[in-house]
Amino acid sequence: MPTPPASSPFTVLTGASRGMGLGIARGLIDAGHQLLTLQRTPNPELQARAQARGLAIEQWSVDLSEPLAVAERLRSHLSAHLSAQREALQDAALNLINNAALLAEPGPLRDADLADLSRATRASLEAPLLLTAAFLGATQGARGPRRVLNVSSGLGRFALAGTASYCAAKAGVDHLSRAVALEEGEVEGGARIVSLAPGVIDTDMQVQLRSGNAERFAHCSRFEQMKTSGALDSIDAAAAKVLAWLQREDFGRDPIGDVRQP
């Protein structure tokens, strides 16, 4: 990894290959962040974009449905990286954005495939929890500001039949963030954390929701209607709202946020 400019922010981002995470990665590179991204399939566009700006980027191919090994690797990597780059990073902002999530096949829980549920819940709840622990542990004592932004959803705050595991994962991410905010508030120089609902975005996850089996998932038509009425944000527009939240002076004062209610 090339030596970055002093105090250049360093951000760990999950799910940067496509969807809103790709928009967030583009925005972070344009804002001068060094990046470590975690997804199954790295995106060459990001490598080229970072290189064109002389910024360091590392993209890991990892499956967040198996998050333990990934979190252990992240903890060791961050500890080594922060120690090797002590001069450049000692005052830098350090961020973790847990953006990746996996939606189980929409439909009633009673009919769900158990392996599908397990994969989705591990990627959407266990992974953010373990990665947050790894990030906070490896970066404690850093002099610069540390922020964790967990991407939540309106479905973590109101229930929708047919998406029970996703609702549970996002409600879990919200409550995880509330509890960690209390813990970090108790220590000098503690990290700040927010669980943020990003609005409704034109991504593969929306395709999955509107193209589900209407007999098993009655709300398909509602998602179809949102697409046809133009209610979905583009990935770059949604990313800009998330990144504006990350930059807020009062980031973390309330650990629960929604880009639609600034």
The residues that touch ligand NAP, with contacts defined as CB under 6 A, are 15, 17-21, 39-41, 62-65, 99-102, 123, 151, 153, 198, 200-201, 203-206
Q: What is the nearest approach in angstroms of ligand NAP to the Cβ of residue 73? A: 13
Whose Cβ is closer to ligand NAP: residue 32's or residue 154's? 154
CA nearest 75: which of 22, 137, 31?
Answer: 137
44 vs 185: CA distance, rounded Å: 39
Q: What is the nearest approach in angstroms of ligand NAP to the Cβ of residue 42? A: 8
DSSP state of 201: B
Q: What is the nearest approach in angstroms of ligand NAP to the Cβ of residue 18? A: 5
Q: What is the nearest approach in angstroms of ligand NAP to the Cβ of residue 108? A: 20
What's the residue count for the chain? 262
250 vs 192: CA distance, rounded Å: 10
The tokens for 88 are: 């450049």
Whose Cβ is closer to ligand NAP: residue 78's or residue 82's? 78
The tokens for 125 are: 């709840």
Alpha-helical runs (H) found in 31-97:
44-52, 67-84, 86-89
Whose Cβ is closer to ligand NAP: residue 10's or residue 223's? 223
Whose Cβ is closer to ligand NAP: residue 101's or residue 193's? 101
